[in-house]
A and B are shown apart, each in its own frame.
Chain A
């Protein structure tokens, strides 16, 4: 059952334990078969939208020194907020 629900649902699911944005993007690209930089940025924008919507919060930030994602830019580690858990539960995702 991979890659058949809306991308943002899956992002919420992945962030339950806390995850770095480049890890999320990589996994989503793989699961949904989305290739290329445009899709990569598009997925990252989904994460940003979820964060500014208050469903994710960044718990850790570091500068991308080695260019894992984009060199010189920030990498964010996200975790689900309480509000995010409620919204995820509305979307029938499994959380305690």
Chain B
């Protein structure tokens, strides 16, 4: 084989791996909505909801419970990632990276602010208030935020074809999102805070991706991601949960009660799916770019709807099916892109 052919083959392999990681991310991310939805009806969270709702009302109760669930999610994710990094032998690199606060780890901690209290909390709120399928598809808008930020901020190239794919995905997201909203508007009972949670998820994940890309440039993805979750654990367990406890919410009482087998198993399931969805997500970015990585990862919306149907038997509305099809079409458009002429993903 001549040099040129080998070169092309190698490049295609690279892009293929990037897309493969992004697809893994989509499947795991979709699976995450199963434990994410289930955990709401399990104790101690169900009981906690009841207690706070009796004193402070449903809205406050939902947000406080969502905070505790998100905090536990972050905790199980970091356990899963610690195991992962241990297996890969990357603790040494983690120590070296965390010391580089200014050029490197700063970005991961910033990403955790948008990823945690904005995106993941928003998702749990949407799951609790509106439902898993909705929460999943509401966040489908995030590649818009991510791609635009990545392009404006550090000049990442987005081809016309990628734009077209993103447009399809967004159209699909709007169809699913709008479908649920219109039905609820008809019944005159709209869970606005749930929809706000959906928007938080979309904006949060988009911003997180763009910020994380800045630090990922010069760090190991596995390490960067662990630091990002370290940041999130600090935010929840050292800042927000203690503050809420001081204000008078029964945070620690219920936190200690979470250590019962079924609840713990569901939380660990959430940690594993979410942790590894992030591993794959971050791995895809350097290979195919933030915009495209997020675009393919977006297939999670469809996977989530399928998994929720399989596990809970919720038959999706036609708007969800149509929207899902549009997402699939959009991702295929991005998939089939010929990256041959794109030597580097960024402009010089």
Contacts and interface: CB of A to CB of B under 8 A. Distances in A.
Interface size class of B (residues with CB under 8 A): 20 to 34
A14 interface: no
A53 B14 contact: no
Given A8-B220, A87-B218, A53 B100 contact: no
Interface in A59-96: 61-63, 73-74, 81-83, 87-88, 90-92
Contacts of A9: 100, 218
Name the residue among B218, B223, B286 with the largest chain A CB count within 10 angstroms: B218
Name the residue among A49, A57, A82 with the largest chain B CB count within 10 angstroms: A49
Interface string B50-83: 0000000000000000000000000000000000
A43 to B, nearest CB: 10
Contacts of A63: 3, 6
Contacts, number: 80
Contacts of A61: 3, 7
17 contacts: A5-B96, A7-B93, A7-B96, A39-B89, A42-B88, A50-B217, A51-B344, A53-B217, A53-B345, A54-B346, A54-B347, A55-B218, A57-B343, A61-B3, A74-B6, A88-B218, A92-B103
A8 B344 contact: no
Interface string B313-348: 000000000000000000000000000000111111
Contacts of B216: 53
B43 interface: no
A71 B99 CA distance: 38
B146 to A, nearest CB: 16
Given A48-B14, A52-B286, A91 B344 contact: no
Contacts of A5: 96, 100
A36 to B, nearest CB: 9
Contacts of A87: 217-218
Contacts of B103: 90-92
Contacts of A7: 93, 96, 220
B92 interface: yes
Nearest to A55: B217
B96 A4 contact: yes
Interface residues of A, number: 33
A23 interface: no
B348 A54 contact: yes
B348 A81 contact: yes
Contacts of B3: 61-63, 74
B97 A6 contact: yes
Given A48-B286, A74-B7, 19 more contacts: A6-B100, A6-B223, A32-B92, A46-B220, A49-B286, A49-B287, A52-B344, A53-B346, A57-B344, A63-B3, A63-B6, A74-B10, A81-B344, A83-B348, A87-B218, A88-B218, A90-B103, A91-B100, A92-B102
B96 A53 contact: no
B219 A8 contact: yes
B104 interface: yes
A12 interface: yes
Contacts of B344: 51-54, 57, 81
A91 B218 CA distance: 8
A93 to B, nearest CB: 9
Interface string A26-48: 00000010000001001000101
Given A52-B287, A53-B345, A6 B104 contact: yes
